[in-house]
Structure 1
């Protein structure tokens, strides 16, 4: 069995439970054991960097983030990689989405280097969730006038429609974007060649770690490429069927019952 040298995990629906919490003490002990075993820990998420840093503040040794579905990689405060969407393409996609009643979402956002930009009149279905996920909101009159480094376009749609709509967006802008259902009624749109697998691989290569030496956890469509690419792809018991189909292992317990932490213990014990 190939020795695992890097463990990466998605956050919502994977590492966190439904109350958006994790067992701080247990995980902190695991970080000590991982460090002793020479295993690096990486957060790989569709969320923006500031949110991820806030989530993992209770365990401050977590300092490596593949954010924005791979479009922004930061390790101990140092930016390793940035992959922005070209602004003309951002404006083209926004215009197409807002002009099509079938594509127009409840909320449309731009995730940028200096803020998450949202139209003045857009109101989310869950204001508390928006405040939780986006602690850098900037209200604007016109998204096409935003001038920033844009990592991702994000929107909210009825949850049962997001996979179909993501496919429609990819077909409408072939070779230009990668639209992925990210769960909770959300679609993330990044650069065509970008996903968590690409971002994680860039980081691992800088450490001399091969894909076969990586274990990764995820629960939704934006995790599929990452799980398929690594040596040990672990789908959550509560994950989507599409993620489970590419996984090497499904967690015996779900995200509400320490699914990730239980498998990390098994990895550290040499049981998987």
Structure 2
């Protein structure tokens, strides 16, 4: 079966734990893939600017799914976005107050070209990290100050993430899709947002069948994508939950170029 599209999550999948990757090996993969008419898709919870930083030496050589599927960038252009319903930010912000003693920092509301943050527990170190992580971070006191569509709401609640997820789901039901990328990180997005729907949008646009797609992931926010593609690969360092599914495993873990080595074996 030919592979026309390869999609990969970034953190703990494509990227090593120090957030780097083997650029020489990646170029080899891209050259082989492009030679047989295939394309590479970065599919991540990260925002667009962050992905462009990671892949600054590979401009124009990959497609992108950002913010867990809320945004699709094809050939450098933002071609599709899915925003959360208007009342959702206020509800999430309110619920976060209940967990304020366990929150890391606060709540972030990510728009297409900037992010808003309400700081609930000041921490200079975490704030510096957030400013690096989110493009154009704007600090606000209230959700009333947000004046554009929000693609994703993010917060970090170590060890209480599942409790928060259940509660927010009970309050907002099918108005949202809530997921965790592990380590206490929670993402709340439009119910139609997941990496699978974004990948399917790309596949339809490029006229590629799901059976011709290979995908790599390590967390529950990769599950829909792995179930959608014909050739799913879970990392050997995946969340235990993923091992319950019948996915093929990468030849090695993320710290040892697992994605790239598995692709080269397949190509």
Q: TM-score, normalised by structure 1?
A: 0.90
- For the 8 Å contact 1:233–1:247, the answer to whether it is kept is no
- For the 8 Å contact 2:110–2:151, the answer to whether it is kept is yes
- For the 8 Å contact 2:12–2:218, the answer to whether it is kept is yes
Residue equivalent to 2:18 = 19
1:173 and 2:195 are equivalent in the alignment: no
1:243 and 2:267 are equivalent in the alignment: no
Number of matched pairs: 265
Shift of 1:89: 2.4
- For the 8 Å contact 2:15–2:21, the answer to whether it is kept is yes
- For the 8 Å contact 2:161–2:186, the answer to whether it is kept is yes
Residue equivalent to 2:153 = 153
Helix, strand or coil: the match of 1:25?
helix
Deviations 1:174-207 (A, max 9, x none): 1111110112321010011211101110111111
Shift of 1:136: 2.0
Residue equivalent to 1:34 = 33
Are residues 103 and 174 of structure 1, via their aligned partners in 2, closer, same or farther at CA, if it must alter by over 3 Å? Answer: farther
The CA distance in 2 between the partners of 1:109 and 1:22, in whole Å, is 27
The CA distance in 2 between the partners of 1:150 and 1:62, in whole Å, is 28
Deviations 1:129-171 (A, max 9, x none): 424422321111213421112100000111x332343233223
The CA distance in 2 between the partners of 1:155 and 1:38, in whole Å, is 39
Shift of 1:95: 2.4
Structure 1: tracts of 5 or more residues without a match:
none
Q: Which range moves more in the overlay, 11-20 or 240-249? A: 240-249
The CA distance in 2 between the partners of 1:101 and 1:256, in whole Å, is 34
The CA distance in 2 between the partners of 1:21 and 1:114, in whole Å, is 24
User: Structure 1 residue runs of 4+, over 3 Å off?
Assistant: 101-104, 120-129
The CA distance in 2 between the partners of 1:221 and 1:27, in whole Å, is 25
1:190 and 2:185 are equivalent in the alignment: no
- For the 8 Å contact 1:105–1:157, the answer to whether it is kept is yes
Are residues 69 and 230 of structure 1, via their aligned partners in 2, closer, same or farther at CA, if it must alter by over 3 Å? Answer: same
Residue equivalent to 2:92 = 93
- For the 8 Å contact 1:235–1:247, the answer to whether it is kept is no
Deviations 1:22-59 (A, max 9, x none): 01111012111100011110011111111111111122
Residue equivalent to 1:256 = 255
- For the 8 Å contact 1:237–1:250, the answer to whether it is kept is yes
- For the 8 Å contact 1:103–1:165, the answer to whether it is kept is no
Superposition RMSD in Å: 2.0
1:133 and 2:140 are equivalent in the alignment: no
